[in-house]
Amino acid sequence: MDFTLILVIIVLVSGVIYGLDLLFFKKRRGDQPPGIIIDYSRSFFPVLFLVLVLRSFLFEPFQIPSGSMLPTLKIGDFILVNKFDYGLRLPVVGTTVWEVGEPERGDVMVFKYPADPRINFIKRVVAVPGDVVEYRDKTLFVNGVMQPLRPAEPDGSLELPALTEEWVEELGTSAHRIWRRTTAGRSLGPIQVPEGQYFVLGDNRDNSNDSRVWGFVDDSLIVGRAFAVWMHWDALFSLPSFSDVRVIQ
């Protein structure tokens, strides 16, 4: 279910009832108490409207459901997404009403899955409109230039799966860790990114459903830039942890 759509509908309905009460119903009932529907609308509308504004235009929380962004993001990480960096967008429809900035190479971006916009995905932007991108021999090339790679120094935060190596990839101003399996992998390109589109990859390069599979991300599907992990929660009956609060690289 689309939570934002439900929230918009509730805010709209409660706002209309609240407005009608101020204009008409309040005068008619005099000193009589309002009915339960009007009372709830008056109580909830200001709070829900504030939540809608914050979620739609400033910040929105998300939970990481899969391991496609390992080692950067773990399953169970709760992240904050900046909705303002890429411009103010109308909730539900995603239309930009105020241009602020655009996604850059290296950004970790949340967007609606092109094959099913009801689902939110998170991947790393590796190529922007006009770029020529190629993924060959498990190495990323942008505009014909191989993006720098170096073996990562172990930090002990995660245990590497079998047949997996950890590397540091430099992309734009971003230096981030990625996982690559030592077995053969998928290759793609070279292919040019169309205007208004973005090419994205998961940091867990051989275990990610990304642009190599379903293509580009359209600008209208963008939700925002993930910038921080604020909590980790492994399972429903476990305790949440705040020991790994960090900025997303």
Contact 225, 160 (CB under 8 A): no
123 is catalytic: yes
From the candidates 14, 41, 83, 123, which is the catalytic residue?
Answer: 123
Single out the residue of 100, 92, 124 nearest to residue 12, CA to CA.
92
Q: How far apart are CA 134 and CA 139, in angstroms?
A: 8
Q: Count Cα neighbours of 84 within 13 Å in the Cβ-side half-sphere.
A: 5
Helices (H) and strands (E) counted in the chain, each on its own, are 4, 17
Task: Estimate the crossing angle of helix 3-20 against helix 36-57, to 10 degrees.
Answer: 130
Residue 172, C-beta contacts closer than 8 angstroms, at least 6 positions apart:
104, 105, 106
Q: How far apart are CA 143 and CA 231, in angstroms?
A: 37
112 is catalytic: no
Enumerate the active-site residues.
68, 123
